[in-house]
């Protein structure tokens, strides 16, 4: 039963139950399909913005972009329509869980290394699928990444909110670009996650999404962004444009493998030509690192790290910045009959994986040394007796 005095979806197939989020241009509601009784999430433009052609066109682009995607790490779009008072809306699956921003806040700002690697792998897999149909997200940040409750207690990351996406018209099958392109000099995205070249006025492309994904990885490991030491937004933006970030291993509370350090620093390169050029490459590299960390023996031991060891990491001079939690229900978008060939989801279920214990091998080595000493001393005693 609706809790609204006035149901904005009156006259449509959907019945509003309660609000989920309220934004400056649109609101998201928990709705119920009147025919199937399925609960979904619906994003509808506010009445003043519904009369602005550019706003309507952006919602159209979001729906069409996500309608071309069918991917386990991008939320599914179910329907689009117009309310009785001519406000466009889109309906998506209802997600249970919380945002990555909220998850970080609940865990002291950081996540275990293996968990961060797995979420990074899922994120870059989703970005690779979007880039494959000519869509650059432009707003990759923890607030737009949702962790859904998955099977056996595992959490699954899904990318939300393609409302500021940019179309690459040269990619076959890409959605129609906006009728009125983004104004020159207007930078879209969350400060701290915007690539330096975009801050300098260059158009966003897949490599700018890769940069943002690198910042997300950095924050998951260290509890902060690479340039959070700046005193204000302007200084932070200047640092992004002019400085190289400190390696995450120097700021993380737990040991960070050298391969992961190098990967993140490459995603954060100031020159986009020096970054990974595709999200597919980043995903493959992260998957290899995750499998090495989770393997029974091998690479994880050679670098002297095991996820279950209680090792002291480097000193962290600053506490992680607070983050605001988001709703435990959220809308997203992503599936329709119109789909393109997609990249397979990475086979790395993150939170369930465990790295080998180095301590077990140390105990085995000491026990072997003790046995050798007993044998040597026994032989020496026997020799003395025979004399």
Taking residue 334's Cβ as centre, other Cβ atoms within 10 Å add up to 28
Q: Mean pLDDT, to the nearest integer, of 119-128?
A: 98
Q: How many residues does the chain have?
A: 387
pLDDT in tens, 285-315: 999 999 999 876 444 443 334 333 333 344 4
Question: Long-range pairs for 31-40 at CB < 8 Å and ≥24 separation?
Answer: 31/91, 39/94, 40/14, 40/78, 40/91, 40/92, 40/93, 40/94, 40/331
Rg (CA), the chain: 25
More confident residue, 150 or 90: 90
Given pLDDT bands bounded at 50, 70 and 90, which one contains residue 339? very low
- Over the stretch 29-51, which tens digit does the pLDDT of each residue have? 999 999 999 999 999 999 999 99
Instruction: Supply the DSSP string of 168-228, one letter for each residue.
Output: -TTSTTPPPPPSSPPPTT---S-TTSS-HHHHTTPPP-HHHHHHHHHHHHHHHHHSS-TTT
Residue 188 has pLDDT above 80, yes or no: no
Residue 363 is predicted with a pLDDT of 54
Split at pLDDT 50, 70, 90, the class of 357 is very low
Over residues 231-247, mean pLDDT: 76
Query: Which tops the pLDDT comparison, 94 or 347?
Result: 94
> Considering only 21-25, 76-80, 93-97, 309-313, which range has the smallest mean pLDDT?
309-313
In b/e form, how buried is each residue of 153-178, taking b as 16+ CB within 10 angstroms?
A: eebbbbbbbbbbbbbbeeeeebbeee
> What mean pLDDT is predicted for residues 214-227?
96
Write down the pLDDT at residue 373.
72
Whether the pLDDT of residue 228 is over 80: the answer is: yes
Report the alpha-carbon distance of residue 254 to residue 250 in Å, rounded: 10
The pTM assigned to this predicted structure is 0.76
The lowest-confidence range among 43-52, 177-186, 227-236, 312-321 is 312-321
What pLDDT shows up at residue 173? 84
Q: Is the model's pLDDT at 372 over the cut of 70?
A: no
Q: How confident is the model at residue 174 (pLDDT cuts 50, 70, 90)?
A: confident
């Amino acid at each position: 039963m609706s809790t609204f005095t006035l149901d904005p979806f009156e006259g449509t197939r959907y019945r509003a139950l309660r609000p989920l989020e309220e934004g400056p241009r649109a609101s998201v509601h928990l709705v119920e399909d009147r025919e199937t009784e399925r609960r979904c999430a619906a994003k509808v433009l506010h009445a003043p913005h519904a009369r602005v052609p550019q706003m309507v066109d952006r919602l159209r682009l979001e729906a069409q972009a996500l309608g071309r995607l069918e991917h386990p790490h991008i939320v599914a779009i179910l329907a689009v329509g117009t309310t009785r008072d001519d406000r466009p809306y889109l309906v998506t699956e209802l997600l249970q869980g919380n945002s990555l921003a909220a998850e970080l806040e609940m865990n002291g700002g950081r996540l275990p290394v293996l968990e961060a690697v797995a979420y990074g792998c899922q994120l870059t897999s989703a970005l690779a699928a979007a880039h494959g149909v000519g869509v650059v997200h432009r707003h990759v940040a923890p607030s737009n990444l949702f962790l859904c409750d998955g099977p056996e207690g595992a959490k699954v990351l899904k990318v939300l909110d393609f409302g500021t996406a940019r179309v690459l018209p040269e990619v076959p099958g890409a959605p129609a670009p906006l009728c009125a392109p983004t104004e020159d000099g207007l930078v879209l995205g969350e400060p701290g996650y915007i690539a330096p070249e975009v801050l300098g006025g260059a158009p966003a492309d897949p490599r700018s999404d890769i940069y943002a994904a690198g910042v997300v990885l950095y924050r998951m490991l260290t509890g902060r962004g690479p340039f959070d030491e700046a005193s204000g937004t302007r200084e932070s933006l200047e640092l992004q444009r002019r400085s190289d970030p400190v390696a995450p291993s120097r700021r993380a509370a737990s040991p960070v493998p050298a391969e992961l350090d190098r990967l993140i620093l490459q995603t954060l390169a100031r020159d986009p030509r020096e970054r990974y050029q595709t999200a597919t490459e980043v995903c493959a590299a992260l998957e290899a690192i995750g499998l090495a960390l989770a393997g029974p023996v091998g690479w994880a031991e050679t670098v002297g790290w095991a996820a279950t060891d209680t090792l002291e990491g480097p000193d962290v001079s600053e506490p992680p910045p607070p983050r605001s939690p988001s709703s435990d229900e959220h809308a997203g978008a992503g599936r329709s009959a119109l789909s393109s060939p997609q990249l397979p989801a990475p086979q790395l279920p993150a939170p369930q994986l465990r790295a080998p214990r180095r301590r077990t091998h140390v105990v085995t080595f000491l026990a072997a040394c003790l046995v050798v000493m007993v044998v040597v001393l026994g032989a020496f005693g026997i020799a003395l007796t025979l004399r």
